Each structure stands twice: as C-alpha cells, then as structure tokens.
Amino acid sequence: MRWLFLLFLAVLVGCGSPSRPLTEAVPTSVDSWTRSQVTSLPENEAPEMVRQLGLDQAVSATFTGPATVPVKIFRMKGQTSAFELIQKWRQSDGLAVYSGSYFIVADPGSGSEAGALLQALQKNLK
C-alpha cells in the first residue's frame, strides 16, 4: 500500500503544470513605468555566463516612464544561479539586479533612470 501512495505522489509531482511563459510574468506596469513591448529571446542570445548557470527562459522588454529603458529578464532554473550571476556580473555590461530566480539587466546606455526601474521590477518579480 505504501508503494502505491509513493507512486501516486511521484505521478502527481511529475504532472505539475509547467511554469508560465516569461512573457506573461513580466508586469505591464510597475511604479511609474509602463511596459511597451516584451518578446521572447532565443537561448543563444543570452550571455554565455547566463546560459552556463542554468537559463530557463529569457525575454527582452522595453519600459517607458521617466525615460525609455530596454531590459533583458532571465529566469534561471534556480535562485542560486541568479545570485551567482549578480556576484559575477560586470555592471559595465548593464546595470543588473536579481530577485529570486530572476536576473534583470538594463541596457548599458539606459542612463541613471534605469536604477529606479530595476528596483521596481526587483520588487514585482519573485
């Protein structure tokens, strides 16, 4: 009887719904920012370090508000991967933050307004 319960539990866990597409997880607005576009990115367009640490999905999005800021959002397979990325990331390659399994990078030429957007996304993506 116990093996039947374990089999049922294994099937239940294996049949869990896949994570929703990242394009749907990116908020349409945060604070004073509104998302104007979001598109999926193929894995080969992610930086090598991101791919090596366990990329799950990636998107490119543009937010408008006090400025227009393009960002790339990477959902990693684990939170530790996003944490490791923030430790290794060169901020000269774009201002970056992480939240849970999300690693978020603003375009390097975004200017000083990018920090406010990244903080807002950091609070809203978990």
Helix (H) or strand (E) holding 2: helix 2-14
pLDDT at 10: 42
DSSP 9-72: HHHHHHTPPPPPPHHHHS-SEETTEEEEEEEE--GGGS-HHHHHTTEEEEEEEEEESSSEEEEE
Nearest of 47, 48, 72 to residue 58 by alpha carbon: 72
Q: What is the DSSP letter of 112?
A: T
pLDDT, tens digit, 9 for 90 and up, residues 58-107: 999 999 999 999 999 999 999 999 999 999 999 889 999 999 999 999 99
pLDDT at 31: 93
pLDDT, tens digit, 9 for 90 and up, residues 36-64: 999 999 999 999 999 999 999 999 999 99
Helix (H) or strand (E) holding 87: helix 79-88
- pTM, entire model: 0.83
Is the pLDDT at 17 greater than 50, yes or no?
A: no
CB neighbourhood size of 83 (10 A): 16
Per-residue pLDDT band for 6 (boundaries 50, 70, 90) equals: very low
pLDDT at 8: 44
